[in-house]
Chains A and B, each alone.
Chain A
Amino acid sequence: MTILIANQVTKRFGGLTALSALNLEIKERSISSIIGPNGAGKTTFFNCVTGFYQAEEGEIIFEGRPIHSRRPDQITSLGVARTYQNIRLFANMTAMENILVGLHPKLRSTWVGAVLGSPGTRHEEDEAHEEARQLLGFVGLRGKGDIVAKNLAYGDQRRLEIGRALASHPRLLLLDEPTAGMNPAETAEMTAFIQRLRDELGITILLIEHQMRVVMGISETIAVLDYGEKIAEGTPAEIQGNPQVIEAYLGRGAAEVT
């Protein structure tokens, strides 16, 4: 079953066509990657899916519902969450508070309830804290809840961002270069963690990634973008053998990746 369909999606910035008539289908519970040189339109596509940009043409359908003209918060509550290429945590809030903000759409309490300390609000806050603690544990930040986000180690910040995205209980998670700037050991750990997200939580994963080892290692399907167009799509093996991709993107190094 397909969870996300992009149909003829086009996005222009002035004279520049960042995405031109892009078609893409993502299967439920799959791990897929989008690769391509810098400026190929990968992050633009993420921004269109999550409502940060409005596509000029085409439609984006998530679980059978069109989402291309919805606001970011509506798309989040429908079940799409994301992380950012250059980590965008709430830097001066604690790790715990970051996750609690992620839980925001689930909470119902009003400010009046908070001021009066009504039992409903307290109960909800307690539950939210408990869930946030569990999420912190799941992403490997147990005991680091009260550290201000900007003081966390780089890898921990990436994990926290994923934790914050998970807090909204997404069914589709978009990860924008989750292993950027990581050393080989951290990268391997992150790769395993992404697989756990799918295997244990059943979340469909779509990622943008530059490290070929990661892409080829965990993706079931790969889409290759170049100048806003999809030039190839297929399994890792098919992509590696595709001469067009090798020419546009992988170059001579392709033979080394197995």
Chain B
Amino acid sequence: MDTQIGFNWRESVRLGLIGGLVALSLSLIGVVETFGGRGIISGVISLGQILLFGAMAGAGYMSARQNPHARTGLNLVGGLIAGLLASLPLIVLVFVAGPINLRDFLPNASPGLLKLLIFEQDQATGSLLLLAVSAVVGLVGAGITLLPGRVRHPLLMGLLFVLMVGLLSEIIILAWGTKGLGLKIRRFMFDKGLSIRGTLLVFLIVAGLNALWGALGGRAQARVSALPAQQQKVLGWGRIALGVLFMLVLPMILRTYLTEVINNVGLFILMGFGLNIVVGFAGLLDLGYVAFFAIGAYTMGVLTSQGELGVAGMSFWSALPIAVAASVLAGVILGVPVLRMRGDYLAIVTLGFGEIIRILALSDFLAPAIGGAQGILKIPKASLGGLEFVAPETLYYLILAACLVAAFVSWRLRDARLGRQWMAMREDEDVAEAMGINLVQTKLLAFAMGAAFAGLSGAIFATKLSSIFPHSFNLLISINVLCLIIVGGMGSLPGVMVGALILVGLPELLREFAEYRLLMYGALLIVMMLSRPEGFWPEESRKRELHEFETEPVLAD
């Protein structure tokens, strides 16, 4: 019996076919053809091809991962088979699409796509070529898993960065490559996408740094943790100072367009911190969170607008506390009726609350006060000692300050008595109550605190845009904020930032890909939830870091 070292061929076949179906559907929804002309490495490979062959390489990679203990040769053959099979659906497509006109029901099965698939050769040669290339790609995919970690990590990292830089090449060129030194670097590195020189440069730098860290990082970390607690603390503060300094100079590095993107991300981070308190800490599922954002924005609008709807003509700074207070009040008003509700019921009621606020904003009933569908216009910019927060680069600092305050408050509260109250309530309401926790007060504080951050975000949003309209406050914002918390890691503060960068920042940068953006967004969410359900930057690791000094060594038991 050789079952122990037997190779799981069935798994290779299955993964190969899955890879093939992915490649086929990518082709048939038009992604491959649309991005066939979008070079990642100019003249070498296009985004369309990367997506296509990514499916095959993925099949080979996964097949080898499924058989970690098999002999190298067998694994390579498994990858080869997976790659081969992954091309089969495409070859079937090529041959079927010749005699039969598929375009009646599959509009994207165009001649252009077919030509692309068979490398612009005739049907027979092209198909064989596709078969061969897929097999090799599958083989390479499997081969990667067999490399030792210290080679594999730099390799994958390098490839990932090449892909990212290639993907974002247009934005990078726009931001930095228009004049002076930037122009020279651009000529060197970019053509249509990355040039070959640029590719090598990016790859070598990233892979080199990664390899260096792999070789020396462990030792460096060991030396840091060997330092006495006092020095480690200093080091920790140093790291924070460095981070703050980086954030301060960020707009100068990023230039206007990217700063604008970061500003949008910042507003979502701010909301994320707020909802993280409500959902992540206190476990109260709130689907109507956008309501508080809207109330903050509308309060700011009504109080400061210089148009006909403005009632007070206040400055940004004097209206800001009122806007936040209005959101807090709304948070408490929502909180009171839902005090006795849990889980799904709470989600439905808050969902309704969010919709009520949006519909009220849109209604004719309130139109005389807040403009209905016409919204509020002429909201003035904030200014501070002569500095007007108009350009994205200056507005950035306003948003940064708000985010830092929110992060600080969240961080302090998390490790305080109130944070423990929230978490205990999240874990078991009845027991928490028996421990002497006042549930009413604890819940209302969570709603109020969450609403305050959203109100702050809304107020800045209003002055940022100078005008606000009801359609800016739709359900999708609530969903987005919730998603970014989940993607980042429930309850985790760095997770909120990572989640916002991925779910708000990336789609903004990938505008070029128009309607496929949401597709990628959805695919990312699914892959993410399957492979890393705890989020990109989960809470647990923080705990171990943070409480390390409390642990005395555990003796063997």
Contacts and interface: CB of A to CB of B under 8 A. Distances in A.
A157 interface: no
A68 to B, nearest CB: 16
What is the interface of chain B mostly: helix, strand, loop, or mixed? helix
Interface stretch (A95-103, A178-186, A188-196): A95-103
Contacts of B413: 111, 114-115
Given A121-B416, A148-B540, A92 B551 contact: no
A138 interface: no
A4 to B, nearest CB: 17
A88 interface: yes
Contacts of A102: 435
Contacts of B540: 148
Of A96, A115, A133, chain B has the most CB atoms within 10 Å of the CB of: A115
Contacts of B417: 104, 107, 109, 111, 114, 125
Contacts of A73: 433-438
A145 interface: yes
A148 B543 contact: yes
Interface string A135-159: 0000000111110100000000000
Interface string B388-415: 0000000000000000000011001100
A12 B437 CA distance: 28
B416 A114 contact: yes
A111 B434 contact: no
Contacts of B555: 143
Contact of A72 (B434, B543, B551): B434
A37 interface: no
Interface string A29-73: 000000000000000000000111000000000000000000111
A104 B416 contact: no
Contacts of B438: 73
B323 interface: no
Interface stretch (A76-84, A220-228, A243-251): A76-84
B543 A77 contact: no
B311 interface: no
Nearest to B449: A111
A91 interface: yes
B435 A104 contact: yes
A109 B417 CA distance: 7
B435 A143 contact: no
A146 B428 contact: no
Given A101-B420, A104-B436, A96 B427 contact: no
A93 B415 CA distance: 12
Contacts of A105: 435-436
B421 interface: yes
Contacts of A168: 435-436
Contacts of B552: 142-143
Contacts of B548: 146
Nearest to B539: A92
Interface in B416-465: 416-421, 423-424, 426-428, 430-438, 445
A72 B434 CA distance: 5
Contacts of A164: 435
Contact of A111 (B418, B430, B437): B418
B368 interface: no
B423 A104 contact: no
A88 B428 contact: yes
B553 interface: yes
Contact of B434 (A52, A89, A148): A52
B551 A97 contact: no
A114 B411 CA distance: 10
A125 B435 contact: no
Contact of B412 (A76, A114, A129): A114
Contacts of A146: 543-544, 547-548, 550-551
A50 B544 CA distance: 35
B554 interface: yes
Contact of B428 (A72, A82, A90, A110): A90
Contacts of B543: 94, 146, 148
A125 B416 CA distance: 8
A117 interface: yes
Contact of A90 (B424, B436, B547): B424
B551 A145 contact: yes
B341 to A, nearest CB: 19
Given A90-B424, A104-B424, A111-B418, 19 more contacts: A73-B433, A73-B438, A82-B434, A88-B428, A93-B420, A100-B420, A101-B420, A102-B435, A104-B421, A109-B416, A111-B413, A111-B416, A114-B417, A143-B553, A143-B554, A146-B543, A146-B548, A148-B540, A168-B435
Interface of A: 50-52, 71-73, 76-77, 82, 84, 88-94, 96-97, 100-102, 104-105, 107, 109-111, 114-115, 117, 121, 125, 129, 133, 142-146, 148, 164, 168
Closest 3 CB pairs of A and B: A114-B416, A146-B547, A105-B436
Interface of B: 408-409, 412-413, 416-421, 423-424, 426-428, 430-438, 445, 540, 543-544, 547-548, 550-555
30 contacts: A50-B434, A72-B433, A72-B434, A73-B438, A76-B434, A77-B436, A82-B434, A88-B431, A90-B431, A92-B426, A92-B427, A94-B547, A101-B420, A101-B432, A104-B420, A104-B421, A104-B424, A107-B417, A109-B417, A111-B416, A111-B417, A114-B412, A114-B417, A115-B408, A115-B412, A125-B417, A129-B550, A143-B551, A146-B543, A164-B435
